[in-house]
Chains A and B, each alone.
Chain A
Amino acid sequence: MKRREFLGQAGAVGTMGLASGLSVPALLSGVGRAYAAADDIPVGLLFSLTGAVAVVEHTLHDAALMAIEEINAAGGVHGKQLRAIIEDPASDPATYADRARRLMIRDKCVSVFGSYTSASRQAVLPVTEQRDNLYWYPTLYEGRECSRNVMYGGAVPNQQQDILLPWLVENFGKKIYMIGNNYVYPKEENNYCRILLNDLGGEVVHEEYVPMGHSDFSSVINRIRAEKPDVIFSTLVGDSDVAFARQYRAAELDPEKMPVCSLTRSEIEVKAIGGDAAAGHFSSAPYFMSNDTPENQKFVENYKARYGADSVTHFVSEAAYFQVYQFKAALEKLDPANISPTEIRDAAVGMSMLAPQGEILIDPNLHTHLWPKVGQWQSDGQAKVILQSEERITPKPYAAYPGQQCTGDGLVKS
């Protein structure tokens, strides 16, 4: 595995740890990693490599690590190499909190890249804010958060739904069936969706939430049959989405008459669902692997060369990848002798770069201006973009809450 080689390169971390692990005091006081402060730049990677979320987070880890290696191979930043310190929080929020502390306090990382779920971000937040560190979060999320210590690389509700909903209502009809996992992200997306539907004259025929990891959708499918909606609006994640899609297909529900439009389904889920079962349904995202830009071609090519020809990139791994480059660009603007997380943040604001999805920009509120698209899945597991926003969309993390705005000075209530 390539990752191993990289670890080997980062000094004899493993062997040193083993050797020192033999003596009790060394075992107690932590493995002796040498942190020569000046000759490299420590960055933390906090993605679950084990446990239920690893399905997605491992690909984020892979993408971020690839970016770091590319940067190092090209000479690093200011002649310094980025040193990736890898932790495995094992899909458990408590472990996220623990490992985040390691990275930010013990290992003195100037930034940490990590996590997929909202719960894990929330677990990392206290230590990040107290230590004024910087957490680069690549995932689409529910908005409604305005931390000065998190760089949000994913879409917020307005960036996923503003172009999607009018198009859905126009092309398929006004009856929407909402299905999601039972946590904050689906509920927020649905809240926002209802606001948009109100203006469009749409109607929610049913809104339901199943527990995380729920995998038997027979009742849901029966209910869908009974309600006869025009569109299924899905915010199911991970396993649940895969199981739902397969059972939807097994039940022979027709995507032409009743398509599933998902905010969370990406190439990685489609690979598990199987192209046949996914074909015809829709996803809304700022990036698809099939995107036709030179930046994306390079990204996909490198990714496949590194992780195998059958590996896929998706809209979260793209963000995990470009965020490392944003980090690098911010570092380059700073005095190499004197870098701190907050300075990196301030340097990053307003910066634009060419990402695989197009030219993106970091807003003063630390969210990212993105290029929303709607893709229809094909039987080869790729999406065909059938609707693309004409302009880059500004992130509005509090779009569903009039009177509240996330700005460069934090949350402003009016």
Chain B
Amino acid sequence: MDVVLNQAFAGLSMASILLIIALGLAIIYGTMGVINLAHGEFVMLGAYTTWALQNHAGLGVVTALPLVFVAVAAVGWIIEKVIVQRLYTRPLDTILATWGIGIILQQAVRLGVGAESRFVRGPQWLSGNIEIGALVMSNYRIFVISFSLAILVVTWLLMTRTEFGMKLRAVIQNRGISECYGIEAKKVYSVTFAYGAGLAGIAGALITPLFSTIPTMGTGLVVDAFLVVIVGGLGSLMGTAAAALLIGEVTAIFSIVINDTLGRIAVLAGIILLIRFRPRGLFPSDIRR
């Protein structure tokens, strides 16, 4: 029973990291249909920005978060303006282009900062565990879980309760007609892309204290995040959250029952079956296109 509880928490923790990475990807994909393969590199940029802020300005991980968000969002905004914007008419090409951007970002960081793994100190006030009976929960992981939920809520509010969100939804439904009503679709796209990139940056900042910070760290993450988005369903925030939770928990259960490798294989097989029988994902958004 202890193992089950602890694994459930481990799964929740994995899910929160998946969610926070996948959310930005989901927004970009849901809005523009762009599969952003450079997303992992945005995560990596976030991690490196945190490292730079900690090393040169002495900021902690949590205090650096807003700055990281702004910095990576700015990079995303520039990339959207210069490159992605020209490719909206060719969605499959954006896969290739963003992959190229990913390589460039990765190599630029390597040449600029070096190939070695960087150390980012986790926040001291979040060290330690909470123990409830046999259930041991790391404070930092609890923080990441709550933060990812907060981001989910904020994003949902942004999409549904603000004027920008309304415009965004209008553009998703029908770009042409929204433009007729005076919505600047281009601007909406730029901001959305920057927001998605910024979220990736935050994800990078939050995972650095737990993982290894190297230029190639994003490559593996993007595949997982991409799968979460597809399983969750196109453009559905709740779907993404549910998919992250499902994949996180299932991985955790499998990895304790069998082992981590077979667990991952089983999850991938499950994903394939799910897409085959529910290609629109767990929670397809009800937006008609």
Contacts and interface: CB of A to CB of B under 8 A. Distances in A.
Contacts of B2: 226
A222 B10 contact: yes
Nearest to B120: A274
Given A252-B128, A271-B119, A222 B217 contact: no
B110 A54 contact: yes
B210 A243 contact: yes
Contact of A219 (B10, B121, B215): B10
B261 A211 contact: yes
B117 A242 contact: yes
Given A219-B7, A219-B252, A209 B140 contact: no
Interface string B43-82: 0000000000000000000000000000000000000000
A219 B117 contact: no
B214 A55 contact: yes
Contact of A225 (B6, B121, B261): B6
Contacts of A214: 260
A110 B114 CA distance: 30
A220 interface: yes
Given A219-B256, A239-B217, A250-B209, A226 B116 contact: no
Interface residues of B, number: 44
B211 A222 contact: no
Given A219-B10, A242-B212, A55 B129 contact: no
A238 B7 contact: no
A274 B116 contact: no
A59 interface: yes
A238 B11 CA distance: 24
Interface string A123-134: 000000000000
B212 A238 contact: yes
Given A215-B212, A216-B14, A273 B119 contact: yes
Given A214-B260, A216-B17, A225-B6, A55 B116 contact: yes
B211 A242 contact: yes
Contacts of B121: 274, 276
Contacts of B138: 250-252
Contact of B115 (A49, A216, A219): A49
Contact of B136 (A58, A238, A247, A251): A251
Interface string A240-271: 00110011001110000000000000001101
Contacts of B127: 250, 252
Interface residues of A, number: 41
Contacts of A247: 210
A252 B126 CA distance: 12
A182 B17 CA distance: 24
Contacts of A51: 216
Contacts of B85: none
Contact of B255 (A49, A219, A246, A268): A219
A243 B122 contact: no
A276 B140 CA distance: 16
Interface in A99-123: none
A290 to B, nearest CB: 19
Contact of B259 (A208, A251, A276): A208
Interface string A59-101: 1000000000000000000000000000000000000000000
B264 interface: yes
B13 interface: yes
Contacts of A211: 260-261, 264
A50 B212 contact: no
Interface in B86-140: 107, 110, 114-119, 121-122, 127-129, 136, 138, 140
A7 interface: no
A149 to B, nearest CB: 29
A213 interface: yes
A33 interface: no
Nearest to A272: B117
Interface in A200-233: 208-211, 213-216, 218-223, 225-226
Contacts of B215: 54
Contact of A223 (B114, B213, B256): B256
A269 B117 contact: yes
B141 interface: yes
Interface centre among A211, A271, A272, by most B CB within 10 Å?
A: A272
Contacts of A216: 14, 17
A52 interface: yes
A271 B114 CA distance: 14
Contacts of B107: 50
Nearest to A208: B259
Contacts of B110: 50, 54
Contacts of B252: 218-219
B220 interface: yes
B116 A271 contact: yes
Nearest to A54: B115
A8 B164 CA distance: 54
Interface in B1-16: 2-3, 6-7, 9-11, 13-14
13 contacts: A51-B216, A54-B110, A209-B261, A215-B210, A215-B211, A219-B252, A239-B211, A242-B212, A250-B138, A250-B141, A268-B116, A268-B117, A272-B117
Interface of B: 2-3, 6-7, 9-11, 13-14, 17, 107, 110, 114-119, 121-122, 127-129, 136, 138, 140-141, 209-217, 220, 252, 255-256, 259-261, 264
Given A218-B11, A222-B3, A243-B211, 13 more contacts: A58-B114, A59-B116, A213-B220, A218-B13, A219-B252, A225-B136, A239-B212, A239-B214, A250-B140, A250-B141, A269-B117, A271-B117, A274-B119
Query: When A and B form their complex, which 7 residue pairs have the shortest distance between CB atoms, in order from nearest?
Result: A218-B10, A272-B117, A242-B212, A54-B115, A239-B212, A219-B255, A222-B6
